[in-house]
A and B are shown apart, each in its own frame.
Chain A
Amino acid sequence: MGLLALKNKKITRRSKEDKVFDIINVFLVAIILILVVYPLYFIVIASFSDPNMIYDGKVWLLPKELTFEGYERIFQDNKIWLGYKNSIVYTVVGTIVNVSFTLMAAYALSRKDLYGRNVIMFLFLMTMFFSGGLIPTYLVVKNLGLLNTMWALILPKAVAVWNVIVAKTFFETSIPNELLEAAKMDGCSDAKFFWKIVLPLSKPIVAVMVLFYAVGHWNSYFDALIYLNNENLYPLQLILRNILIQNEASTMMISDLDSLAAKQRVSELIKYGVIIVASIPLLIVYPFVQKYFVKGVMIGGIKG
């Protein structure tokens, strides 16, 4: 009893300096939180505010002189919606290719009875540390006749080595060998075992793979920049680049305005708006799927 009291006393005495530590820590973390959130929040309020108010530095916490003109013009613009449609197609088809190639390869490599698995794994891993580079890869894509097709965005990125490692680690640790032996006794083939037993047991890793690859496709612009020059094939990110950085695509959207000042005003508004419009799909799903991303990093991390 006395010992316990002593112990308690010790803890309360010590916790005074620890308490100061905690308060400062919570406060610093709150500042970090604001630094991360505020730029995002500002984009949202700026997309609804009169650009003159932004220029004059009057928009800080709430939108000023509410306007929807930016969004109206964005919604009327065909290019953006075409880009949206293209991005959705590339993301869906690309992710299907990515996930099926990756999971099949990862499962095969996770099987200890696969003759030559180390050699093949080594072949895969090598590509992480040395690559032919941009130009030779471009020439391969060109020689295969993939330029100006959607496959130029999908096939050269079909498998990410890192994701193979993540999926392989998952299969190795979570599919018990006894299951395979039992299935083999019943005359189950490898393909059937993978499809009927492994995949249903691996839903988390399938989710991780789908998310990693899908975000990659949705966000990429560079492959489209080098492999496509047909504007009708442009994904959303490339159109965004033209609007946000080249300041060009918006000329179509504001052609009815006369004065330069009005043009500049609305094109600012459009910039804030397209950032929101382009990020909305991710913003909607992000809170629900965040834990899968984290899981993916952790599985990869254990191995690394």
Chain B
Amino acid sequence: MARKANHVIDSPIQSKKRIKLKKILSNYQLYLFLLPALIYFIVFHYVPMYGVLIAFKDFVATKGIMGSPWVGFKHFERFFDSYQFWTLIKNTLGLSVTQLIVGFPLPIFLALMLNQIRSEKYKRFVQTVVYAPHFISVVVLAGMIYVFFSNNGLINNLILIFGGDPISFMAKTEWFKPLYIASGVWQETGWAAIIYLAALAGVSPELHEAAVMDGANKWQRIFHVDIPAIMPTAVILLILSVGNIMNIGFEKAYLLQTPMNQPAAEIIPTYVYKMGLQQAQYSFAAAVGLFNSVINLILLIAVNKFAKKLSGTGLW
């Protein structure tokens, strides 16, 4: 009797476990589906997260990550004390903040403009064309910048026509940022507008009809119907871009670097590449990279909190 009672008490827990196990087993094929991706993320993302420990060690390849001696914050201190530290911070932040300020609103303007075009054909044609630069490789883009802005390239020819003096763009530190930003605007504005166009297409036509009935002109409808409609999308994208502010497009910066514009063009990611892979100072470069990632993460969390307070929309 007692035994029976015991059994009765026991069984719900046991059967719950059994059901869970059964659920897992019956879906074993789905777990197999997940396996390649899971292995990928562990090997190429989580193992490197563990590997970042070398930032606190003097990494010696033959001893491995575990065997190399701990050195605490030595590499960080060396980075903070190096004469390049503030230049790197200034260049990295300067480039990404300018890119954000210039590059963030433009797709919104473009989407609002395209949305107002009445001829469907013209609109579709423009869209097809302005998306296209997005698919140009960064090498080709940099190559285009080099040929257009060379001493006797297209741009200097234009300057000559208007009576100006030719500029050696690629050799001047002050031209690195404008070229970087402008080429980014040229390449990505159209593509970035897609998402806003989608949000605008989702605006109910009745809203616009009602506004027309109330005597609103196009400007007023843009301000009171269209812009509120794309606000949530804009906030999310803004959070994401601020959260990525230190992950500036390193591939383009590296390609646009010349010996002459180096002082303005060296940013943290290119510095990590040169220190780590060209000079094989693995631990030091890993420390610089980690510093970058941590700042990024802090920014993301802060911006998300701020946006949530301000507008109620956030990533999580």
Query: Which residues of A are in contact with B by a Cβ distance under 8 Å?
Result: 10-11, 14, 17-18, 21-22, 25-26, 28-29, 32-33, 35-37, 39-40, 42-43, 46, 54-57, 100-102, 104-105, 107-109, 111, 113-115, 120, 123-124, 127, 129-140, 144, 155-156, 158-159, 164, 189-191, 194, 215, 218-222, 226, 237-238, 240-241, 243-245, 268, 271-272, 274-275, 278-279, 282, 286-287, 290, 293-294, 297-298, 301, 304
Contact = CB atoms under 8 A, between A and B. Distances in A.
Contacts of A56: 157
A10 B132 contact: no
Contacts of B110: 32
Contacts of B44: 137, 140, 155-156, 158
B33 interface: yes
A190 B276 contact: no
B263 interface: no
A61 to B, nearest CB: 13
Given A57-B157, A108-B31, A279-B136, A136 B40 contact: no
B30 A221 contact: no
Interface string B229-265: 0000100110010010000001100110000000000
Contacts, number: 271
A56 B233 CA distance: 48
Nearest to B216: A14
A298 B198 contact: yes
B135 interface: yes
Interface of B: 20, 23-24, 27, 29-34, 36-38, 40-41, 43-52, 54, 110, 113-114, 116-118, 122, 126, 128-133, 135-140, 142-144, 146-148, 152-154, 157-158, 160-161, 186, 190-191, 194-195, 198-199, 212, 215, 217-219, 233, 236-237, 240, 243, 250-251, 254-255, 269, 272-273, 276-277, 282, 285-286, 289-290, 292-293, 296-297, 300
Contacts of A240: 137, 139-140, 143
Contacts of A290: 128, 131
A294 to B, nearest CB: 6
A190 B217 contact: no
**Which 8 A-B pairs rank lowest in CB-CB distance, beginning with the nearest?**
A132-B48, A244-B143, A133-B289, A136-B51, A57-B157, A219-B137, A105-B37, A136-B48
Looking at chain A's contact residues, is the secondary structure mostly helix, strand, loop, or mixed? helix
B243 A135 contact: no
Nearest to A302: B198
Nearest to B135: A282
A42 to B, nearest CB: 6
Among the interface residues B41, B113, B133, B240, which one has the most CB atoms of the partner chain A within 10 A? B41
A221 B139 contact: yes
Nearest to A13: B215
Contacts of B37: 101-102, 104-105, 124, 158-159, 164
B152 to A, nearest CB: 4
Among the interface residues B43, B212, B218, B282, which one has the most CB atoms of the partner chain A within 10 A? B218
B40 A155 contact: yes
Contacts of B54: 135-136, 139
